[in-house]
Structure 1
Amino acid sequence: MAKGERRPSGSKASGGPPSIGHQSEDEPLRAVVVVSQMTPGADAYSTLTGQPAALLPVANVPILFFQLETLLRGGVQECILLVVRDDSTAVQSALSNVASAVQDEKPNRSFSMRGMTITIFEGSDWHSEGDALRELETRDDLRPRQDFVLVSLGAVFSLDLSTLLREHRARRASDKNWLLTTAFRRGVRRDGATRPLCIVFDPDDFQLLKYDDGERADSIKIELASTFGKSRERLCAIADAVDIGVDICGPEIMVEFRENFDFDEIRDYVRGKLDSGDGEVLGNRIYAHFTSAHAPGSGTVVTDFGSALSAQNDFMQRWLYPLVPELELIPGQRCIRHRNSVYKEGSVKVDPSSRLVADTVLGADVEVRAHSYVSKSALGKGVVVGCRVEIRSSILMDGVTVEDDAWIECAVVCKNCVISKGCKIGKGSVLGSGIVLEPGAVIAPGSFLVREDMLEKKREVEDLGSTLLSDVDVNESLSADSQKVDSRGQEVTAREKVCALAPDDVRDSILACTQFAKWVSPEMVAKQSDRCLLRNILEPEDLEEYSDEEVESGVDLQSFPNLADTEGNGVVMSSANTFASEILDTVTRAIREGHDIENSVLEVNSLKLVYDRSFADCAREIFAAILREARSGRSFLEELNRLLQGWSALVVRFAPRETEQSEVLMAVLCFLSESANAAYLKAAPTILKLLYDHEIVPEDAILDWADGNIPGALREAFKACSPFVEWLAEADEEDEEEEDEEEEDEDDDENDHANVRALSAE
C-alpha cells in the first residue's frame, strides 16, 4: 500500500487490533526503542563511523546504554530494539558489553540484561519509524498488547517511568481515550543546542491541543469555544517546551500506524491528530507531562552534535540524576570523581603540569602530557594528548591522538583520528573516523570531514550523489584505515579521499553539520600568537596573493574561539571584528562623555545579544577598551588607575566568575603582546595589581590563571607579569603559615586551660 493511503476500516491485519477489555494481565511491561536512523542517507554519524546514531557516546557512554538503564529502573521487562539490518552487527557487539546472549539466531537475536530481555528486531526495507512499527504490529510474538513505552531515536532521559506509567494507566481506567502520554521538559538551555516547541494544552487536565516545532507561540490559532468536543474556559500556550522523546502509548497506537501510512514517526501521529481534527472526531486524547530543565529526572533528544555536547554537560552536571558519571553503566567501566568535577576511569596518566577542569571525563588508558588544558570534554579510551594542547567542550572518541600545540574547541573527533602538531580545529567541526591532519592544518568552524570510502558504504549514488560537494584537497593516504589532509590545500592523487558534505544535503540528518571544510596555510596563521587565527579564513587559491611580509604586517588577527560565523559560500566571515570594534566604540564614548554605568551595561548587553557573545567575550573587550583609552593619558598607569576608579564596576558586571576573570587577564597579555613599547611590559605587574586592588580579579583567579595553559606567543607577556604573581603566591603561603600558627596557638591555649581546670578540680 502506498504512503498516504488508508486501509479500509473493514480490513484486518495479522493478529487483529488489541482489545482493551481483553488485555493479558500477565504480559510483561514492554518498551520499543528506535535505534537506527531509517531515512535513507540521513544518518551522518553512521557515515562518519559505520555505527548507528544510538551508539554515539555521551561522556564515553553510548546513548543506547542510558536508555536501557532508565528502562530497567522503570520496571521494563522486555525491550524491543528497532534496528535496520546494516546496523545489527554493531548493535549486537555493543550489547555484548552489558548483556549476555540468550538467543543468537535469526530472526530475533535476544540478550538478557539484569533480568530485562532485549530483542533485536531487524528490518531491511524500512524507510521510516512508521514502517518499523507497522511491521512490528504484524508480529504476534512481539506486538505490545498492553500500554508500552516508546523511546525515540537519540533520547537521553532519566524519567521515573514507573510513576509515569502508573498515572497513564489511571487515566486510561477512567477514560480509555487517553491513548498517549508525551513527556516534555520546561525550560530551554542557554547553550542554544535544543530547539524549543510551541505547544498549547488545557491547564486543568493537561490535554495536549497543539504541537508545533516551527511557529511562534503568539501565531498559533486555536478555537477557544470548543476544542476536542469540550468547552474550555482557558488554555495555556508555552514556547519553552522541549520534547524528551519518551511516550507511554496505548496498544491502539499500533493500529493507528497500521491503518495510516502518512505517519512516519510518533510525532507525525501527534501533529496529525491535533491538526486534522481526527482526535476530536474519534475522541483520542494526548496527555502532556512536564518536567523541569533544572531538576533531576529530566532529559533531552540528541539530534546533532551540538545537542550531544549539551546532553553531555547535563550528565556531567548531574541533571540526569539518578544517572550520574559514577554509575557503572557499562560493566567494568566505572569513573571516580576528583576535584573540579573531573572523572577518571582506571589507568589514566595526567602530567602534574596539565590542568583538568569543569566537567571533564577521561576514559581508560588516557594520557595527558605536560602543560595541556582540558575543560568540559570527554576523552575516550586510549586517547593521547600531547604537550601544550588545549581542548574545550569537545568529544574525542576512542583511539584519538592529539599531538603537541593543537587547539580543539566545541568539536567532535571520531575514532582513531590523528590531530598533528599545531593543528587548529574550529567550533562545530566534526572529523570522521580515521582522518589524519597534516601538521599545522587549520580546520574552519563548522567543517564536516569524512573519508570517501566511509561515505560510499552508507549511500546510494542516485540518492546521495548531490551530497558529495567536492573532493577536498588531500595528500597520499597513510594506510587503508586513515587519510592525511594537506594543510596547504594542494590537490594530489590519492587512493582514498576526504569528502566535505554540503550543509543543505545533510540538514535533516540526525547528526547534521553546518559548514563544509576549508583550509588555510599554516604560514598564514598566528606568527604573532599561537592561539590566534586569521579573522577571515581564505580559500586556498587566495593564499598566493599574500607574501610573508604582508601577512606579518597587514593581517588582523583574532582569538580562535570567536571564529563562529559563516556565510553560505563556505568562507568564514567572522563578526568578531565588528563586535570588538563596537565594544571599543561604546566604552570609549561612555568614558569620554561620562555616561552612567547602568546605561553602559545596557548598551554592552545589547551588543552581546546582537552578536551572540558570552560574558567572557564582553569582559575581555571592555577591559581591552579601557587599556587602549588609558594610553591616551600622560601617564599610562595613572590614567588606568583613574579609569578603574570609575569604570571597574562595568568590568565586574561582566566578569562575576573565574571563567570571565581569566579572559580579563588574557586581555592584558594580548594588549602587552600587541604593544611595541617595552615600557608597557615593565608596567605589567602594576596592571595586575590594579586589577587586584580594584577587586576586579581576586587572588584565587589570578593564581589559577597563572597555573593554566598560556599560549606560546603570549608567554613573554606572561613572564613580564610574573613578579606580581610570585608576590601573590608568596603572600598566600605566608597567610596559610600564619593561619596554621594561629591554630596551633589556639590548640596550645585550649590545652593550657584544660590543665588549669584539671588542677582546680583536684
Structure 2
Amino acid sequence: MAVKKGRDVDAVANATLQAIVLADGSFDQHQNKKFAPITHETPKVLLPLVNFPVVEYTLSWLQSVGVTEVFVFCCDQVKDYLHMSDWLAEPNFKVSIIVSKICVCVGDALRLMYERDVIHGDFILVNGHTVSNMMFDQAIMEHKERRRKDSKAVMTMVVKKSMPCQITKLSRFGNDEMIIAVDSDTKQLLSYEDKVEDLSVVSLDKAMVSDNRRAISLYNDRQDCWIDICSPEVLSIFNENFDYQDMRNDFVKGLLFDDAQGFKFFTYDICSGYAARVDNIRSYDAISKDIIRKWTYPSVPDVLFENSETNLGRERMFRASEVVGQSQIGPLTVIGSGTIIGNKTTISKSVVGGGCTIGSNVTIDGCYIWNNVTIEDGCELKHAIVCDGVILKAGAVLEPGVVLSFKVVIGEKFVVPSYSKVSLLRQPIMQDSDDEELNYTDGSSGIAVNTPTADGANMGSLSEMDACATSEVGSNGVGFIWLPTEAEEWRYSVAPIPADKLVAIMLAADNDPELPTLDDNILPPFNDSDSEVADDDSDSEVADDDSDSEVADDDEIADFEKEVEATFLRAVEEDVEEGNVILEINSLRLAYNMTPLACAGALFYSLMTLAFEMEHNSTSELYKNVTSVMVKWHKLLRTYLKHR
C-alpha cells in the first residue's frame, strides 16, 4: 500500500503541511448522544465555546502551527457558516469545504480523500471540536524521521498526560478510562484499550512482550487528544479496507495485531501545551473554564478574535457589555456584547452570550447562556446550558444539570428538575447514536416543522402531543422534556458531580472501606510508617525511604504538588464544598502514594499562592490576605496535620 503512482517521493517528503478536519456530526459515533437534544438542531462544531463557535478554535490553531491547506468535511450548516466567515479569504491558508451525502463515517471521508488525490504528503487528522495550542514542530520532525527509517510507521497519535486521580479526570472531562501500552524506547504503540471498566486486570499479547523489547510502559494517565499525524499510506489502507469505519476501533485496533501487514503506530507526548476535545457536556464546561483561565493561550477570545469587543477584567472576567446598577459580576465570567443586565442581579462562573436580556434579582451561577436569551425578573439558574432564543418567564428556576435547547420557553415560576433536557423537538422513539446530528440538515433554521409555539399555534397543524408540550414546562411554556438516555446523567453534565457519586468512585477505585465520607471529613488511620515519614528527624526519613519499595521520586512529588494546587485553586474559584475538596485531595494522595504531611505541604503552598494572587499593593495588605485565607481554610489544612 503506497501513495498513488506517479508522485515524486522527495516531493511528498517536502510537501507543505495539510490537514483534514472532521466537522460532520455523523462521524462522531462515540459521543453523539452526549449533547442531545442540542445537536439534533445544530452541529457540535458550531456550538458557542466562550461565545465563539468551536470550529473557530480548531482552524485558528491549525493556521498557527503552519498548516497551509485544510479540507473540512462538514454538513450544509457548517458550509454556510464558513462561507459567511473570513476563512475562505485567508492568505496562505486555503480552506476547502467538502459536503458529501454518501460519507457517513470517518472511513468514508478518508476513502473519498484518496480518490480525489489531493493529499500530497504527511497530514494532520483532527476533529472540528478540538481546542489546542500545542506546537507541532517536534512532533512532525519525529514522525518524518521515523518514516525515513521505517516506511511501515504510518501514524503518530498525540497524547497528553492527564491527572491520575480518577475523580479529577472524571470531574473535568467525564472521560472513560483508557489504557495504552507503549515501547519505552521507541514510543511505538503496542496496545490501545478505551472504555476500560476494570483497571485491576490488563491483558497483553504474548508477542508484544517477547519481541526483544527492553521495556514496555503501561499508562492509564494518558489522554487521547485525537490529533493524528498521518502518512499518505493511511488513506491507502482505508481505501483497501472498506469495512474500516472508525479511526480507533477499526483502524488502530485492527492493525495493531496484524503482523502480516506490519503497520506501526507511535505516540507523541505533549510535554507542554494544551489539547482537548469538546466531546461531551462536562468537557465543554471544563474547556470553557480553561479558556477563561487562559490555559489555552493564545487560543483565547481576546487574542483570536480581536474585533470581539471582549475585554479582560479582574478575576478572569471578560466583559463586552457595561453592567450598571447594583448587579455583581463574579470571577470566571464572560459577558457578550449587547447584553442588558438588570438591577441586583448576580452572575458568577458563567458565560453569557450577546444580545441577551437579563432582568433584575436574577441569580446565575455556573451556567452557559448563549445568544439572544431572555431571562425575566427573579429567575434562578445553577449549572445549566441555555441555548439561543430561550425565554425564562419571571421566577423560573433551573436546577443543576438542566439543558434548554433552542427557543424553549419556561413558564412563570416553573422549576425545571435537575438534569432535565427540554427541546422544541419531540424525543425520538428509537435513539440511534449515529443519526443524532442528521435532523438539522433538513433546514437552515435547525427547527423542525410542527413545533409548538407560546400562543398555542404552530407552523402546521398542532397535534395533541404538541399541545401537551406547552404544559410540560409550566404555564405559557413551550417545550418537550426528554427522558434520560444515559444511566448516569450526572457524568456528562455541567453540574458538579454529586458528593455521593464522588465517594462511590473513590471507594471503587481504591477498594478501601476506610476511605472518608463527607460526614467524616477526615483521613483514614495511617500506619506507623506514615507517622515516621512525617517525623522531623531526617535519619528516620531516610530509614523509612530505604524500607519502602514505592517511594515517590522528585518528578512524582512535583506532579502531585501541582495537582493539589490546581485542585485547590479550582475549588476556590468554583466555590466547591470543603468536603468535596478533601475527597479530591485524598484521591490524589492515594494515586501518588503520598503521606498526610505531603498533602499539608502542597496545600500550604496553595494557600500562599491564593493569598499572593489576591489584590494587594503593600506588604500589610498581603499580610491581611494571608490572614483571611488561613482563617477560612485552616480546618482543611489541619485535616492533614493531625497525624503529626
Decide: shared fold, TM above 0.5: yes
Contact in 1 for aligned 2:290/2:296 (Cα 8 Å):
yes
Q: What residue is the counterpart of 2:631 in the other structure?
A: 696
Alignment equivalent of 1:411, drawn from 384, 387, 391: 384
**Counterpart amino acid of 1:430?**
V
Quick one: distance in 1 between partners of 2:304 and 2:292?
14
Write out aligned runs for 1:242-391 (5 A): 242-273=223-254, 275=256, 277-278=257-258, 280-291=259-270, 295=272, 297-329=273-305, 332-345=307-320, 348-391=321-364
Greater relative contact order, per chain length (Cα 8 Å cut-off, separation 6+):
2
Matched, 1:125 2:102: yes
- For residue 50 of structure 2, the aligned residue among 59, 65, 87 is 59
- Is contact 1:373–1:391 with CA below 8 Å preserved after alignment? yes
1:341 and 1:359 in contact (8 A); partners too: yes
| RMSD, aligned α-carbons | 4.7
The 3-state SS of whatever aligns with 1:326 is helix
How far apart are residue 339 of structure 1 and its match? 0.6
Q: Decide whether the 8 Å contact of 1:199 with 1:217 is kept in 2.
A: no
Aligned ranges 1:74-473 → 2 under 5 Å: 74-83=65-74, 87-99=75-87, 111-140=88-117, 142=118, 144-188=119-163, 189-190=168-169, 191-195=171-175, 196-215=177-196, 216-223=198-205, 226-227=207-208, 230-273=211-254, 275=256, 277-278=257-258, 280-291=259-270, 295=272, 297-329=273-305, 332-345=307-320, 348-452=321-425
Residues 131 and 275, structure 2, Cα contact 8 Å, conserved in 1: yes
- Supply the distance in 1 between the matched residues of 2:470 and 2:51 (Cα, whole angstroms): 30
Q: Give the corresponding residue for 1:676.
A: none
- What is the letter of the counterpart of residue 19 of structure 2? A
Taking the aligned partners of 2:76 and 2:473, their CA distance within structure 1 comes to 40
Which residue does 1:555 correspond to in 2? none
Q: Provide the secondary structure at the position in 1 that maps to 2:107.
A: helix
Query: Residue 617 of structure 1 aligns to which amino acid in structure 2?
Result: E
Q: Structure 1 49/28 Cα, relative in aligned 2: closer, same or farther at 3 Å? A: same
Partner of 1:617: 577
Contact 2:182-2:189 within 8 A present in 1 as well: yes
For each residue in 1:147-204, what CA deviation from the matched residue of structure 2 results, as whole angstroms up to 9, or x when unmatched?
0010024222222123322221122112222211111111135524241421110111
Counterpart for residue 631 of structure 1: none
What is the CA distance between 1:397 and its match in structure 2?
A: 1.0
Aligned to 1:6: none
Relative to structure 1, the CA distance from residue 91 to residue 51 in structure 2 (aligned partners, 3 Å threshold; closer, same or farther) is farther
Q: Is the 8 A contact 2:499 2:518 kept in 1?
A: no
User: Offset at 1:564?
Assistant: 8.5
Aligned residues: 514
The verdict on how the C-alpha distance between 1:118 and 1:402 changes in structure 2, with shifts beyond 3 A counting, is same
Deviations 1:212-256 (A, max 9, x none): 1122444222246x4298411211111111111211000000011
Gapped regions of structure 2 (runs ≥ 5):
439-449, 502-516, 528-570, 583-599, 612-626, 634-644
SS in 2 for 1:160: coil
- Equivalent residue number for residue 630 of structure 1: none
- Which structure 1 segments of 5+ residues have no match? 1-8, 100-110, 466-470, 517-559, 567-581, 588-596, 603-611, 623-649, 662-691, 699-762
Residues 21-32 of structure 1: pairs in structure 2 closer than 5 A: 21=9, 23-24=11-12, 27-32=15-20
Which secondary structure state, in structure 2, belongs to the residue aligned with residue 300 of structure 1? strand
Distance of 2:282 and 2:382 partners within structure 1: 12
Counterpart-to-counterpart distance in 2, 1:694 and 1:462 = 51
SS in 2 for 1:350: coil
Identify if the C-alpha distance between structure 1 residues 266 and 447 changes in structure 2 by more than 3 Å, giving closer, same or farther.
same
1:36 aligned to which of 20, 24, 42: 24
Conserved 8 A contact 2:402-2:418: yes
Counterpart residue type for residue 263 of structure 2: N
In 2, Cα distance between equivalents of 1:600 and 1:228: 40
**Structure 2: distance between partners of 1:404 and 1:241:** 46
Q: Deviations over 1:609-645 (max 9, x none)?
A: xxx9x984346999xxxxxxxxxxxxxxxxxxxxxxx
User: Secondary structure, in 3 states, of the residue corresponding to 2:291?
Assistant: helix
Residues 539-688 of structure 1 aligned to structure 2 (within 5 Å): 586=520, 616-618=576-578
- Residues 583 and 31 of structure 1: CA distance in aligned 2, closer, same or farther (over 3 Å): closer
Deviation at 1:325, TM superposition (A): 3.3
Alignment of 1:705-724 (within 5 A): none
Please give the alpha-carbon distance, in whole angstroms, between the structure 1 residues aligned to 2:369 and 2:205.
50
**Distance of 2:17 and 2:188 partners within structure 1:** 25
Q: Which stretch has the larger CA shift, 349-358 or 393-402?
A: 349-358
Please say if residues 436 and 485 of structure 1, whose CA atoms lie closer than 8 Å, have aligned partners that are also in contact.
no
Structure 1 residue 353, shift from structure 2 partner: 2.0
For the structure 1 residues 128 and 18, does the alpha-carbon distance in structure 2 shift closer, same or farther, using more than 3 Å as the test?
Answer: farther
Shift of 1:369: 2.1
- Relative distance call for 1:136 and 1:514 in structure 2 (3 A) is farther
Equivalent residue letter for 2:357: V
Q: Secondary structure at the match of 1:262?
A: coil
In the TM superposition, residue 474 of structure 1 has moved relative to its aligned partner by: 9.7
Cα distance, 1:490–1:256 mapped onto 2, change above 3 Å: closer
Superposition deviation, residue 422 in structure 1:
1.7
User: Computing the radius of gyration over CA atoms, which structure comes out larger, 1 or 2?
Assistant: 1
Scaled by the length of structure 1, the TM-score of the pair is: 0.59
Question: Retained in 2: the 8 A contact 1:407–1:423?
Answer: yes
Summarize the Cα distance change of 1:485–1:183 in structure 2 as closer, same or farther, 3 Å threshold: farther
Give the secondary structure class of the aligned counterpart of 2:304.
coil
The 2-side partners of 1:333 and 1:263 are apart by 42
The Cα offsets for residues 460-499 of structure 1, whole Å up to 9 and x where unpaired, read as: 999999xxxxx9999754776999998974999x9x9733
